[in-house]
Amino acid sequence: MDDATTACEDLKFFEKRLTEVINYMGPTCTRWRISVAIVVVAVVIGVTGTKWMTNTEVETMTLSHFLLTAHLDFTVCIVVAVLLFGVFGVHRRVVAPTIIARRCRDALSPFSLSCDHNGKLIVKPAIRNSAP
């Protein structure tokens, strides 16, 4: 086998493996996106449903009474949102395939290659440096 055939086979294998990795991450990312959407909707419902901004009794309540008894649903939703984003790093898990594709693009660019968001390789025209 000559070098061109070997290089072509290597590129095909790399493309196949990259698409497998990105496709494998898809269902996990979808589950995290659904989790984030549920938490965001719950926080919005908690804010609008309890109408704590227009509640006139807020001025007479202590903060602990306000958060732990009067509006416990809102407090739980905010705590879950902070845990998801702050502790578990959901924002990175939701966009993980995009991060992988971007890092592959950065690694492939010196070789006049790129890839799309699905992991398919794109061959770019070689850049020739012309001597003055």
Q: What is the pLDDT of residues 115-132, one digit of tens each?
A: 998 889 998 887 766 655
Select the more confidently predicted residue: 89 or 48. Answer: 89
Residue 104, SS3? helix
Cα dihedral sign, 58-60-63-67: negative
Strand partners, 115: 121
pLDDT of residue 52: 60
Instruction: Give the Cα separation of 96 and 102 in Å (integer).
Output: 10
Instruction: Give the Cα separation of 105 and 100 in Å (integer).
Output: 9
pLDDT of residue 24: 92
